[in-house]
Structure 1
Amino acid sequence: MRIRVLTFNTLFRGRAHARMDALARLVEESDYDIVCLQEVISPLILARLRRATGSFPHLARAWTFPIVRGGLVTLSRWPITRIHFQSFIPARPVRPELLLNKGALFTRIRVPGGYLTVVNTHLSANMDMDWSPYNVYTKVEQSELNQLAAAIKRVDRAEPLVAMGDFNVPRDSRYFTTFASNAGLQDAMAGSTEPTYRPDYADIGAIDQLLHRPGLSAEPLVVFKDEIRLRNGDRAHLSDHYGIEATLAATTRAGERPTSASA
């Protein structure tokens, strides 16, 4: 099994239609098999994306009227056999993003050689950009990471699984490494602190993540770092985030159970 994947936070505001059109063209012309997007909040934006990505006939998302639940959308060129949305338990402080009903979108996909569970997620933002232990947003993110790890562990351990998205937690944070260990996942980026959030917005580093279970290998790359040309000729960045793409390959033989990830 060799599967090409992408995770990307699309940024819901600021010329969203034009940027989504450009993203859709890139995705449609790519060799990606599975694409996980965050902040696709509007059903109108989602419809626009679907019209322009005909080579991805399979779609996973959930609804919380009148928005796309959690802003999470997963596109696949391979058949989807199961979809489940796991909501995070709302926690104070009260803030607008609670209206998104954030969580994780679990999608089981039939790929060549078997099945792959894809977890697309977007955690709460740390509005203070302060990941000290006593910060209120740090506590919210820790709780969501614990909930996400518990949900991942409920998926059969023999099932290949990849988790990706906007974690809003820096990759070099002990909260992230603790999550990876608790969930039995390996960091595809191997702890790299190469930024995935544009530094002209804020210097918060590598907050988008791609992890996988033992039994898979990954060759990741940070992408969409440069400006692109929109249909009207203007140049713009696709988002305030960069994307992460990867080639996944099976390292476990059929019928062999993978060993646990090391802490």
Structure 2
Amino acid sequence: MTTIRLLTFNTLFRGRARERLRALGAVLERSDYDLVCLQELMSPRNLAALRAVAHSYGYAARARAYPLVRGGLVTLSRTPPQRQHFTPFRPARPLRSEWIMLKGALATEYRVAGQRLVVVNTHLSSNRDDDWSPGNRYTQVQARELARLEELVRATDPSALLVVAGDFNVPRDSSTYQRFTAATGLRDLLAGDREPTYRPTRRWPNPPALDQVLLRAPAGVRVDGTARLVLREAVALADGTEAYLSDHYAIEAVLRIEPAAARRR
């Protein structure tokens, strides 16, 4: 049996991002995560600051769009990726500042114990109305992005183990999200769990579950997956102050892979 440990986390580009990323790097360096999917890591300098601390993650898959990291998407690993590809989302109205992020999906392929593993790290457009009804203007933008993501999922070789993770900005219990999972056959490791993945605030005391980890196992391979929220507490920064690492919580996923041949023994 092979075990893969994965983390997905929206790192929040505003505020003291570099200081928080250095603190995150220290957390990651002490961890046993094999793969780390990060969102909103748009500055190459901030990425360098993180990697200077989390030095055991020798590989950082990302797409460049000078002077930014395209889509703010970075996937860290301790083993080399075989290949990577960035799929952009098509900009759609209403006009908004997040267009500069050039959002999309970063697919990275690895070889783990003889098994092909494709990890798709993504970050969808935000819904500034906090209204995920089908007729909402931002929900329609997100539905088009999910359709683009569905194309990517369908194009991925079914013999590979596929993980799709990131900040979907779409609630887990919304009809838009449920249509996407039904159409792709992806299994949500936190299906039915409504615990917020965005840190509650006075303005937004009851946010929904916006971050997700989804899985598709190839035929003949059994994958038992569990997930939980982590990185919820404040941490010490280099100057001695404390801060939350982000306005989101992270999701930790543990995948236990058992090939069919092993089960027949």
**TM-score by structure 1 length?**
0.94
SS of the aligned residue for 1:74 comes to strand
| Counterpart AA for 1:172 | D
Q: Does structure 1 residue 178 correspond to structure 2 residue 185?
A: no
Counterpart in 2 of 1:36? 37
Deviates more, 1:184-193 or 1:5-14: 184-193
| Counterpart AA for 1:124 | S
SS of the aligned residue for 1:245 comes to strand
Deviations 1:105-136 (A, max 9, x none): 00001212322100000000001111111111
Deviates more, 1:21-30 or 1:106-115: 106-115
Instruction: Quote the sequence identity (%).
Output: 51
| Counterpart AA for 1:144 | E
Please identify runs of 4+ aligned residues in structure 1 that moved more than 3 A. none
Choose from 205, 212, 225 the match for 1:218.
225
| Counterpart AA for 1:63 | R
Aligned-residue offset at 1:254: 5.8
Deviations 1:223-252 (A, max 9, x none): 011111112111111100000001112244
| Counterpart AA for 2:231 | F
Q: Is the 1:7–1:243 contact (alpha carbons within 8 Å) kept by the matching residues of 2?
A: yes
Counterpart in 2 of 1:73? 74
- Quote the RMSD (CA, aligned, Å): 1.5
Q: Is the 2:197–2:229 contact (alpha carbons within 8 Å) kept by the matching residues of 1?
A: yes
Counterpart in 2 of 1:261? none
Deviates more, 1:200-209 or 1:157-166: 200-209
Q: Does structure 1 residue 239 correspond to structure 2 residue 239?
A: no
Q: Where in structure 1 are there 5+ consecutive unaligned residues?
A: 257-263
| Cα separation, partners in 2 of 1:161 and 1:255, compared to 1, 3 Å | farther
In 2, Cα distance between the equivalents of 1:213 and 1:204? 27
In 1, Cα distance between the equivalents of 2:234 and 2:115? 37
In 2, Cα distance between the equivalents of 1:175 and 1:205? 14
Counterpart in 2 of 1:195? 196
Q: Is the 1:79–1:111 contact (alpha carbons within 8 Å) kept by the matching residues of 2?
A: no
Aligned-residue offset at 1:255: 11
SS of the aligned residue for 1:133 comes to coil
After the TM superposition, which residues 77-96 of structure 1 pair with which residues of structure 2 at under 5 Å, given as runs? 77-96=78-97
Deviates more, 1:135-144 or 1:228-237: 228-237
After the TM superposition, which residues 104-143 of structure 1 pair with which residues of structure 2 at under 5 Å, given as runs? 104-143=105-144
SS of the aligned residue for 1:31 comes to coil
Deviations 1:72-120 (A, max 9, x none): 0000112200100000111101111111110000000121232210000
Aligned-residue offset at 1:44: 0.7
Counterpart in 2 of 1:103? 104
Choose from 251, 256, 260 the match for 1:249.
256
Q: Is the 2:134–2:176 contact (alpha carbons within 8 Å) kept by the matching residues of 1?
A: no
In 2, Cα distance between the equivalents of 1:168 and 1:67? 21
Counterpart in 2 of 1:260? none
How many residue pairs get matched? 256
Q: Where in structure 2 are there 5+ consecutive unaligned residues?
A: none
| Counterpart AA for 2:174 | S
| Counterpart AA for 1:100 | M
In 2, Cα distance between the equivalents of 1:252 and 1:189? 23
In 1, Cα distance between the equivalents of 2:192 and 2:260? 27
| Counterpart AA for 1:10 | T
SS of the aligned residue for 1:199 comes to coil
In 2, Cα distance between the equivalents of 1:235 and 1:164? 28
Counterpart in 2 of 1:56? 57
Deviations 1:143-169 (A, max 9, x none): 101110111110111210100000000
Counterpart in 1 of 2:210? 207
